[in-house]
Structure 1
Amino acid sequence: MSQPRQSMTDPVRHPEAASSRTRTKRALVLLLLTVFVPGGAQVVAGNRSLGRKALVVTLSCWFVLLAVLAVALVDRGILIEVLARPLVQLALAVVLGLLAVGWLVLFVNTLVIIRPRLLAPGARAFAAAATAVLVLATSGVLGYGAHVLNTGRGTIQNVFASGPAFEPVNGRYNIMVMGGDAGANRTGLRPDTMAVFSVDAKTGKTVVISIPRNFQNAPFPESSPLRAVFPDGFNCGDECIMNALYPTVENQYADLFPEGSNAGAEAMLDAAEGITGLPVQGYVLIDMAGFAAFIDAMGGVRVDSGGWVPYRGAPRDDIPVRTRWFPPGELNLSGDDALWYARSRYFTTDYHRIRRQQCLQQAMVNQFNPQTVLTRFSGIMSAGEQLLETNIPQDQLGSFLNLADKSRKTPFERLTLGAPDFGTSAERFSTYPDFDRIRQRVDALLLEASGAAPAASSAPARSTPANDGASASATSGGAAAATTTAAAPSTAASIESGASEAPTTQPDGSPITEDYLIQLELTGQTDLISLIASTNDECSTP
């Protein structure tokens, strides 16, 4: 039977008799259908069987996307935990790859249906160019998404350990974060930045307990193999400060730990448990260079600095010193700048930089949100492989990302096992620690963080009031060791005790500038510089 005459003259399926203008409109409509309703062009003007199959896939994708959106609105944590699993990422990468190929096939078929030879020369060139652009915007984006997911899956498998996720203890996860510095002038890797992150398994409320690099006499729990080697703790004097434990164990006692484990890191976990009384379940070791790359991948990090922070700058022809200064106020730091901001202890003390590290970590957590991850996923994953070594299982990553997302809603609580939370630096609490006091303070802070005890200030009063955001901070593991020189003990003591108020202007009343600070250094007025810099631990997140 012959087709009805109206069907044979339909310009959508039979454009031969249509006008040039109608053919051009038809081509544009078919391309738009392929973009917004994949399969629609085939149903109305081509192979209906192929079009129906494509429409089924299209409707299924829309259904899945709406379901994902509903889950995200109800409980985003579930979505984060599922998407963080390597097997889910592999499946999504395969699905996106197949969708990219399928959409490309539909565009090629749509171009055949359009019949470019029937178009005017200008319209023909437009149709070809438009098809190429739309293929890149659809199949190209899906293909790139598959590549990014596969990259993330590879990073997770390379960085995180295998094995089952561990359970919280007393409702909390306790993880030790260390910043590692294995520079050429170091004997082995020395984690000069150390902190225990205690995270509420339900709310994500986080307490950060910072351990100074010069902490001495660290005890070991009975379960540690080092208890037999150091029954009275790591107490051989100045050679046995906390950051020396890692290389000491790696070089001399690695055989005490299971083969294949990181003996130095395991020793640090045991010491942290002995110091705080908390069961420390895992570690994250962050490389300094990787930290800078990670910050750059995030697009920088913003902090509100309460004082002048020195760093080592490039030489200038007009001055013989290389000291440069980050000014007070809001700073948008690149990776290298963030590293200097957290490492610097010129003219101040180790305890100043610990508090800046805490602030910087809070800022990173605040900025490490789903929007940042989605827009910078590939760079973050690539930098992450350089950044981390950890014994946290892959299956734990989803729940930890979920907790990190929750933790952005409340500021971190922090405790430094030294000045200013335990006296001044001149009192040398880190050299002669009182472990009963430490554990009492840790227990009280955890109770406060859980809401089971009334809030109370744990830090002694200072003459210069701390910025409100300073207590809402956490340590930056990546901002690890410093190779700079600390302030002299007498200067440090006056800074910590608040003997004098930090000046905010020059003697003539004009604002303090970097050039003024450089001139003070040139004329040897280091005590005045230290006083001006004494507020640089007062930091908050904008």
Structure 2
Amino acid sequence: MAARRCEGHVNDVRRRPASRRAQGARRARLQSRRQSRDQRYGRFLGLTFLGTLVPGTGLIAAGRRRIGTTIVVLLCLALAATLAVVVLIPPSELASYGGDREMMFMLGGVLAVAAVAWLLVALGTHRVLEPEGLPASKRLAGAAVVIVAASVVVAPMAVGSRYAFTQRELIGNISSSGASHTTPELDTADPWADKPRLNVLFLGGDAGEGREGLRPDTQILASIDTETGATTMISLPRNLQGFPFPADSPLAELYPDGFDGSGDAGEWMLNAVYRNIPTQHPEVFEGVGDPGADANKWAVEGALGIEVDYFMMVDLAGFEAVVDALGGITVDVPRDIPYGNKSLPDGSCTEANGYIEQGEDQLLDGFHALWFARSRCGSDDYERMERQRCVMNAIVDEADPATLLSQYQSLANAAGDIITSDVPADMFPALIELMVKVQGQPLESLTLDDDFFASMGTTSSDPDYDELHARIVEILAAEPTGTETPADTPTDEAPEDTTEAAEQNTAAEASAERSTVTDTEARQSSDETTEGGTDGTEQSEESPSDDATDEPADEPVDTGAVC
């Protein structure tokens, strides 16, 4: 028995080293397999990430060479085509595509399809590369890699598709909604061929509390040089009276002596045309989409003596949303501007809720920007017109590409709710391309204020419209501020022709210089105003500066100096 126990002990001793060697070998094999699985899993994650960013590469690595190569080639062709479009097509023409509803529909659809296809290829790549037998945690990690990588490309495509469809809807909302007697017939292929200037009337509509109907108190005509984009903005006072209508307008027969009549003088001013004329003469506007706008365009044409091509109406009640979507606007506030109050029939004002403080580079949100543009207490209509132009310029300055892209959805929604126009939808591409030129030029302004009419020996209630027409034509024909005319450039014209042209230009400049209001005078007059008027609105008795008579009064001024 002792011998057997001794022999068994010896055998156990001999087996122990062999067992340890077997266990060590087994551990080594398990470690090697674990490392191999980790390597395969890391390779799976890497190829999945790459295959999601660059569709087709992951499929090639998984052995699906034919389909993977096809996808890579298609991707390269698409990128090359996109690069060619960006490089070869001028930026202004690219921008004009934003006004083409068909182009926006195609772009939105292409981006949506491309986003879905990209995501499907990414999921397919993940599926064919995924090793078998992965635990749930690692499979979840692989899916997360696909989601993160796909979001880098697919998310911008989805946003771009949404923006394209939103832009298409916006153009549809603000374009002409019906017939018009006053819109020009232009060739959309080359609309500015025979049109050196485009005149667009901007109306600020206010159908506020206590008001019957809509009265556009803000009326600014933007006259745009279609070749250069140089723009002159002419602000018309809402209390302009006695203006004629164009000879070819049906209103010329109805009002042969101009827009005038008995009763309340406030019902015969420029801001009353929009509501009153269509109400009094509905037969003239049968089938017209916006009768008030047609009547208002005819009124401005008769007052200024130039054609008005299109109008754009901005509902001031929704103006706040646009400014807020831009993140506010920055303006110079010439004095403390009250808000939250209103004028009374006796010329006084109710107590203000607060004040927009005087100062340069004041950032205003939508609420305060609206009051800055509309506040009447303590000022007259002309100062108000100056402030409204400041706001318009500030909006243009804030509308940089980065802001437009980041806030586009909010801006588009706000604009679609508050803007109407008679611009045909197929004219928006050309109009947007022209606006690109406008942004590169200084905006000049002309205010038809008391000093302007005083320089003609008249008032806004009884202007000399023949002289007004002549002055407007001279001003718009003058060389824009900031442009350079080569002095030594040889021409083929005869010397006498050159002399005659020079004399005409000198005469135009002299006539314009006779009646310009300088920025300093505009600020001085705004600080000296009082209230009270025949129509229940604010008027002022301005005290011109001592040297006011020596200064011109109707030459356009760069609005950058005012604002």
TM-score range, shorter chain: 0.7 to 0.9
Q: Is 1:288 matched up with 2:316?
A: yes
* 8 Å CA contact 2:52, 2:121 repeated in 1: no
The amino acid across from 2:86 in the alignment is L
Alignment partners' CA distance in 2, 1:71 and 1:340: 45
Q: 1:213 to 1:273 in 2, by over 3 A?
A: same
Give the distance between the partners of 1:541 and 1:335, measured in 2 at CA: 21
Match of 2:30 in 1: none
Match of 1:268 in 2: 296
Q: Which one-letter code corresponds to 1:421 in the other structure?
A: F
Correspondence for 1:229: 254
Aligned to 2:50: 33
Rate the CA distance shift 1:462–1:76 in 2: closer, same or farther, 3 A: closer
- Structure 1 residue 383 corresponds to structure 2 residue 414: yes
Q: Matches of 2:514 and 2:125 in 1, distance apart? A: 69
Query: Which residue of 2 is the match for residue 81 of structure 1?
Result: 96
Partner of residue 205, structure 1:
230
CA distance in 1, matches of 2:515, 2:112: 55
Higher relative contact order by CA 8 Å / sep ≥ 6: 1 or 2?
A: 1
**Deviation (angstroms), 1:121:** 6.5
Q: 2:448 aligns with which of 392, 404, 417?
A: 417
- Give, in whole Å, the separation in 1 of the partners of 2:270 and 2:186: 29
**Quick one: which amino acid aligns to residue 246 of structure 1?**
Y
Shift of 1:124: 3.9
Change over 3 Å in CA distance of 1:221–1:407 after alignment to 2:
same
1:224 Cα deviation (Å)?
A: 1.0
**Cα pair distance change 1:424/1:444, threshold 3 Å:** closer
Paired residue secondary structure (1:330): strand
Identity across matched positions, percent: 30
Number of residue-to-residue matches in the alignment = 467
Query: Residues 301 and 338 of structure 1 are in contact (CA less than 8 Å); yes or no, is this contact kept in structure 2?
Result: yes
Q: 1:436 aligns with which of 444, 466, 474?
A: 466
User: Could you tell me whether the CA contact under 8 Å between 2:267 and 2:276 is conserved in 1?
Assistant: no
Q: Which residue of 270, 285, 288 maps to 1:257?
A: 285
> For the Cα contact (< 8 Å) 2:311–2:423, is it kept in 1?
yes
Cα offset, 1:322, TM superposition: 2.0
Tell me the alpha carbon deviations over residues 221-252 of structure 1, each in whole angstroms, 9 at most, x when there is no partner. Answer: 11111111111111224420111111112322
Counterpart of 1:297, as a letter, is: A
Name the residue aligned to 1:479: none
C-alpha contact (below 8 Å) 1:211/1:416 kept by paired residues:
yes
Which secondary structure state, in structure 1, belongs to the residue aligned with residue 450 of structure 2? coil
Corresponding position of 1:175: 200
Q: Does 1:214 align with 2:239?
A: yes
Match of 2:39 among 17, 22, 25: 22
Partner of residue 75 from structure 2, selected from 52, 58, 82 = 58
Q: Distance in 1 between matches of 2:447 and 2:101?
A: 36
Cα 1:390–1:340 shift into 2, 3 Å = same
The 1-side partners of 2:59 and 2:383 are apart by 67
Q: Is the 8 A contact 2:40 2:131 kept in 1?
A: no
Is the 1:287–1:388 Cα contact (8 Å) retained in structure 2? yes
SS of alignment partner, residue 389 of structure 1: strand
Does the Cα contact within 8 Å between 2:49 and 2:145 map onto a contact in 1?
A: no
Partner of 1:532: none
Q: Which structure 1 segments of 5+ residues have no match?
A: 1-15, 471-483, 502-536
Identify which range, 175-184 or 129-138, moves more after superposition: 129-138
Code of the aligned partner of 1:51: G
Q: CA deviation at 1:264?
A: 0.9
Q: 1:321 and 1:246, CA in 2 relative to 1: closer, same or farther beyond 3 A? A: closer
Q: How does 1:81-120 map to 2 (within 5 A)?
A: 81-115=96-130, 117=132
**What amino acid is the match of 2:93?**
I
The answer (yes or no) to whether the contact 1:181–1:288 under 8 Å persists in 2 is yes
Q: SS of the residue aligned with 2:247?
A: coil
Rg (Cα) greater in structure: 2
Partner in structure 1 of residue 476 of structure 2: 446
For residues 237-256 of structure 1, the aligned pairs below 5 Å read: 237-256=265-284
Among residues 288, 297, 301, which one is paired with 2:329 in the alignment? 301
Question: Is 1:493 aligned to 2:539, yes or no?
Answer: no
Contact 1:42 1:50 in 2 (8 A): yes
Match of 2:372 in 1: 341
- For the structure 1 residues 289 and 30, does the alpha-carbon distance in structure 2 shift closer, same or farther, using more than 3 Å as the test? farther
Tell me the SS of whatever aligns to 1:422. helix
Asked if the contact 1:174/1:282 (under 8 Å) is kept, the reply is yes
Determine if contact 2:331/2:394 at 8 Å carries over to the other structure.
yes
Q: CA deviation at 1:330?
A: 0.4
TM-score (norm. length: structure 2) = 0.75
Contact 1:197 1:208 in 2 (8 A): yes
CA-to-aligned-CA distance 1:153-182 (integer Å, 9 cap, x gap): 112122213797564464011111111112
Which of 66, 80, 95 is the aligned partner of 1:49? 66
TM-score of the pair, normalised by structure 1: 0.78
Which amino acid is the alignment partner of residue 337 of structure 1? H
Note the alpha carbon deviations across 1:295-324, whole angstroms, 9 max, x for none.
Answer: 22222222233333222279xxxx975242
Task: Give 3-state SS (helix, strand or coil) of 1:213's partner.
Answer: coil
1:499 Cα deviation (Å)?
A: 7.1
Is the Cα contact below 8 Å between 2:200 and 2:223 reproduced in 1?
A: yes
| Contact preservation (8 Å) 1:306, 1:538 | no
CA RMSD of aligned residues (A): 3.3
Match of 2:259, SS? coil
Question: Which residue type is aligned with residue 30 of structure 1?
Answer: L
Moved more, 143-152 or 216-225: 143-152
Which AA in structure 2 matches 1:343?
R
**TM-superposed deviation, 1:77:** 1.1
CA contact (8 A) 2:445 2:559 kept: no
The superposition leaves residues 10-31 of structure 1 with CA deviations (integer Å, 9 ceiling, x where unpaired) of xxxxxx9972332243133223
**How many Å separate the matches in 2 of 1:88 and 1:272?**
35
Task: Give the whole-Å Cα distance in 2 for the aligned partners of 1:459 and 1:369.
Answer: 35
Q: Distance in 2 between matches of 1:28 and 1:363?
A: 50
**Among 212, 215, 231, the residue aligned to 1:190:** 215
Q: Are 2:332 and 2:360, in contact at CA under 8 Å, matched by a contact in 1?
A: yes
In structure 1, how many angstroms separate the alpha carbons of the residues matched to 2:416 and 2:247?
A: 35
* Residues 166-219 of structure 1: per-residue CA shift (max 9 Å, x gap): 644640111111111122311211111111111111211111111111111121
Q: 1:56 to 1:290 in 2, by over 3 A?
A: farther
SS in 2 for 1:302: strand
Task: Provide the rounded CA distance (Å) in 1 between the counterparts of 2:97 and 2:260.
Answer: 46
User: C-alpha separation between the residues in 1 aligned to 2:203 and 2:479?
Assistant: 23
Q: Which moved more, 1:117-126 or 1:186-195?
A: 117-126
Deviations 1:373-425 (A, max 9, x none): 33322222211211211110112112222222221222112111223433499
Which residue number in structure 2 is paired with residue 353 of structure 1? 384
SS class of match (1:421): helix
Instruction: Choose the corresponding residue for 1:332, options 363, 367, 379.
Output: 363
Structure 1 residues 301, 462: closer, same or farther in 2, change over 3 A? closer
Cα distance in 1, alignment partners of residues 455 and 364 from structure 2: 30
Q: Is the 8 A contact 2:266 2:272 kept in 1?
A: no
Mapped contact 2:336–2:355 kept (Cα < 8 A): no
